[in-house]
Amino acid sequence: VIGVVIGKTDVRGFPDRKNIGSERYTFSFTIRDSPTYFINVNSWGREDYIRTLSESFRVGDCVTIENPLVQSKEAEREEKFNPVTPSCYKLLLSENHSVVKTSSCYEMDTKLLSLLHLPVKDPQDYYSLGDIIANGQSLDGRILNVLAAVMSVS
């Protein structure tokens, strides 16, 4: 799978239930290969493997993923912690079987670079700040998508 990284989480450690007293590490990222399709990628493993993998690329890089495990995603659980994707699958990276290679999007395909700036939500599924202010009471308790741009940072 070849795509541009459009999102990435920090590395986190969790107690390993199989090996009491040790930890397993994880991080995830989302890659996109067309305006319509993007998928979440999860990786679990030893700390040095996960940290090295996480530091090997950043958002905006193009990656080639070789030999991932394709799994059905558990929509309700998965989408609490990862972006909602149009696919009913996720990719799982294994330290022993999977490889992630990074390269410049210019070397691969400049069309991939343009995918970095496309919203991942349906353009009809956003509220403007004006709509939220005007209809605040009726929207109370609902989860809303807001599309905004940063004008300045100071």
- Helices and strands (DSSP H and E) totals, the chain: 5, 8
Angle in degrees, CA 57, 55, 102, rounded to 5: 25
Q: Which run of H or of E encompasses 47? A: helix 47-55
Q: Select the more confidently predicted residue: 138 or 44.
A: 44
Report CA torsion sign: 94, 85, 103, 61.
Answer: negative
Asked if residue 85 has pLDDT above 70, the reply is yes
User: How many Cα atoms occupy the beta-carbon half-sphere of 31 within 13 Å?
Assistant: 22
What pLDDT is stored for residue 77 in this prediction?
67
* Predicted pLDDT at 107: 61
Phi, psi of 95 (to 5 degrees): -60, -35
What is the residue-averaged pLDDT of the chain? 84
Answer with the residue of higher pLDDT: 87 or 124: 87
Q: Kindly give the residue spans of alpha helices, DSSP state H, lying in the chain.
A: 47-55, 75-81, 105-108, 110-114, 129-134
Pairing of strands 89-93, 38-45: parallel
pLDDT band of residue 75 (cuts 50, 70, 90) is low
117-135 burial code (b ≥16 CB/10 A, e <16) = eeeeeeeeeeeeeeeeeee
Q: Is the pLDDT of residue 149 over 70?
A: yes
